[in-house]
Amino acid sequence: MNKVILVGRLAQDPEVRYTQSGKAVASFNLAVNRFGGQNNADFIPIVAWEKLAESAGNNIGKGSKVLVDGRLQIRSYEANDGSKRRVAEVVAQSIEYLDRKQQASENGGDLTVDSFGKDVFPDEEIPF
Amino acid sequence: MNKVILVGRLAQDPEVRYTQSGKAVASFNLAVNRFGGQNNADFIPIVAWEKLAESAGNNIGKGSKVLVDGRLQIRSYEANDGSKRRVAEVVAQSIEYLDRKQQASENGGDLTVDSFGKDVFPDEEIPF
Amino acid sequence: MNKVILVGRLAQDPEVRYTQSGKAVASFNLAVNRFGGQNNADFIPIVAWEKLAESAGNNIGKGSKVLVDGRLQIRSYEANDGSKRRVAEVVAQSIEYLDRKQQASENGGDLTVDSFGKDVFPDEEIPF
Amino acid sequence: MNKVILVGRLAQDPEVRYTQSGKAVASFNLAVNRFGGQNNADFIPIVAWEKLAESAGNNIGKGSKVLVDGRLQIRSYEANDGSKRRVAEVVAQSIEYLDRKQQASENGGDLTVDSFGKDVFPDEEIPF
DNA sequence: TTTT
DNA sequence: TTTT
């Protein structure tokens, strides 16, 4: 069990890059207000992959309010001076767009993007 | 966003049934202790599907301690007297077995069963 | 561990009542969309107590979008015909108001109401 | 909304320190297995305060299995070379002890420690 | 109806 | 470094 749920606003536009194998990766910091908190936020690094990444790149930007559901991961990397560093980041499993800043979409509904197939089974099928 | 996370013990062995289309469905009540609570628990109906259901049928029983991650669903059904009833239940998305009652498995590790494919990406692939 | 996190819209205005000991209790159904889901929602009963209840009564109504953080509880009661019934409901521990329908509040920020005292400790105090 | 839920084992005994104002603070790394993961874990820094800290110091140690419920915080500090660094850590709001390594406690039940007062209301009080 |  |  490794679950993180955050509501906040993007501190900057998502940066979308591509791995050597061609997978899209988006990253941005999420400003999550602390309780009591006008000018008191945690800026939490978020990473999203593939269609989640592409959707973020196309649909949200600096200031957008989102709900991120994901897992907390510690990633190792080599710093410029050759030293080994560790950074914590949240790998998004789904992102729910809580407002629609720019394009006031005519259908109104909220958009949720998810990194896996769905497991929704109709009520009627249950054999009891 | 519809997320439920529970830790508790099975109040009875899982019942495994099959839909007309052949899908396995397991159901059981989970005793979740309230704070302060020896003899003070909520008995929460859990439903699991397909491989989650089969694994539950094979690996856990009355008294097993588990962590259930799922969503809360309201299901409508027709009662015996023809009246329409609604029941709330948690549809499991993953079940983590926190103890191994019967078979003291030699490898020691915990078992997690999950209803969808995994989205684990290796650290090294990240292009930054 | 008994945790529920829901995002949805109130299906009706909160009903605020008072216990014999004078505690406020608010109740309403929350429409939580399923994935894929325009016309496909679970209507989940929510209960809030004391200042959470009063705030809900004053600040949100039918159609308001909220994030509810709480626990899932099974409550027993006696039906009109004398039979014993059980109902599941979510007891809210905090409610975050994700939009402000009517009154475009002048202070701008989002409003979160919480049922317990806060445990926020300043960063500087940590002795390492 | 800033919520983190983790299940893992302590990578070392908790270190308990005291702030200048006398508050207890415990810190340790939690090894949280990734899916698929025997030798594949994230080591996540956990911080607990006051009675949570004292209980951790007294009741759990390296290898203990726990469920941590908390929030993700970014803390700034000054490194030895005077540069400003940021570190992410989980501030525990409750810790559930999922096993009892050393002392096979005679009372059986699980121990949950929580950082705030409880909001449990009896079922009977609800006026409907 | 029920778990430890 | 940063959001409203």
Tell me the CATH number at D33: 2.40.50.140
Q: From residue C12, how far is each of B92, B122, C31, C46, D50 by CA, in Å?
A: 28, 46, 10, 11, 42
Which one has a higher pLDDT value, D119 or A65?
A65
Residue B106 is assigned to a structural domain of this protein? no
Contact across the interface for C34 and B2, Cβ inside 8 Å: yes
pLDDT bucket at A114, cuts 50 / 70 / 90: confident
Instruction: Give the pTM.
Output: 0.88
Instruction: For residue C74, give its domain range.
Output: 4-93
Among partner residues B33, B34, B96, which is closest to D7 by beta-carbon distance? Answer: B96
Total domains in chain C come to 1
- D chain contacts of residue C19, beta-carbon cutoff 8 Å: 125-127
SS3 (DSSP) at D123: helix
- Positive or negative torsion for Cα C74, C75, C78, C79: negative
pLDDT score recorded for residue A35 = 76
Footprint of strand F on the protein (CB under 7 A): A 8-12, 29, 31, 33, 38-41, 43, 62-63; C 108-110; D 76, 84
Give the pairing type, strands C84-97 and C41-49: parallel
What is the C-alpha to C-alpha distance for residues C30 and C69, in angstroms, rounded to an integer? Answer: 12
For residue D36, how many other CB atoms are within 10 A of its CB?
A: 9
pLDDT, residue B111, reads: 75
Say if D65 falls within a structural domain: yes
D58 is a domain residue: yes
Higher pLDDT pick, A120 / D29: D29
User: C-alpha angle D21/D26/D29, rounded to 5°?
Assistant: 150
Is residue D99 in some structural domain? no
Structure confidence by residue, pLDDT tens digits, D83-104: 888 999 999 999 999 986 433 3
| CA A78 to C1' F1, whole Å | 21
| C51 CA – F1 C1', rounded, Å | 38
Q: Using CB atoms, list chains with 3+ pairs below 8 Å to chain D.
A: A, B, C
Cβ contacts of D101 within 8 Å, gap of 6 or more: D60, D61, D63, D64
Question: Is residue A53 in a domain?
Answer: yes
Interface test with C, best of D15, D121, D123 (most C CBs within 10 A): D121
Does position A101 have pLDDT exceeding 50, yes or no? no
CB B66 within 8 A of CB B95: yes
pLDDT (0 to 100) of residue D107:
45
Position A70 in a domain: yes
In the structure, what pLDDT confidence band is assigned to residue C112 with cuts at 50, 70 and 90? Answer: confident
Domain-located, residue C108: no
In a domain, D67, yes or no: yes
- Per the model's pLDDT, the better-predicted residue between D83 and B121 turns out to be D83
pLDDT higher than threshold 80 for residue B116? no
- pLDDT bin (cut points 50, 70, 90) of residue D108 is very low
Look over chain C and give the mean of its residue pLDDT values, rounded to a whole number. Answer: 86
Q: What is the pLDDT of residue B80?
A: 82
Gap between the Cα atoms of C61 and C13, Å rounded: 4
Q: What is the pLDDT of residues B41-84, one digit of tens each?
A: 999 999 999 999 999 999 999 999 999 999 999 998 888 888 88
User: Residues A24-28: what's their mean pLDDT?
Assistant: 98
CB within 8 A of B103, min separation 6: which ones? none
Q: Is C42 helix (H, G, I), strand (E, B) or coil?
A: strand
Mean pLDDT (chain D) is 85
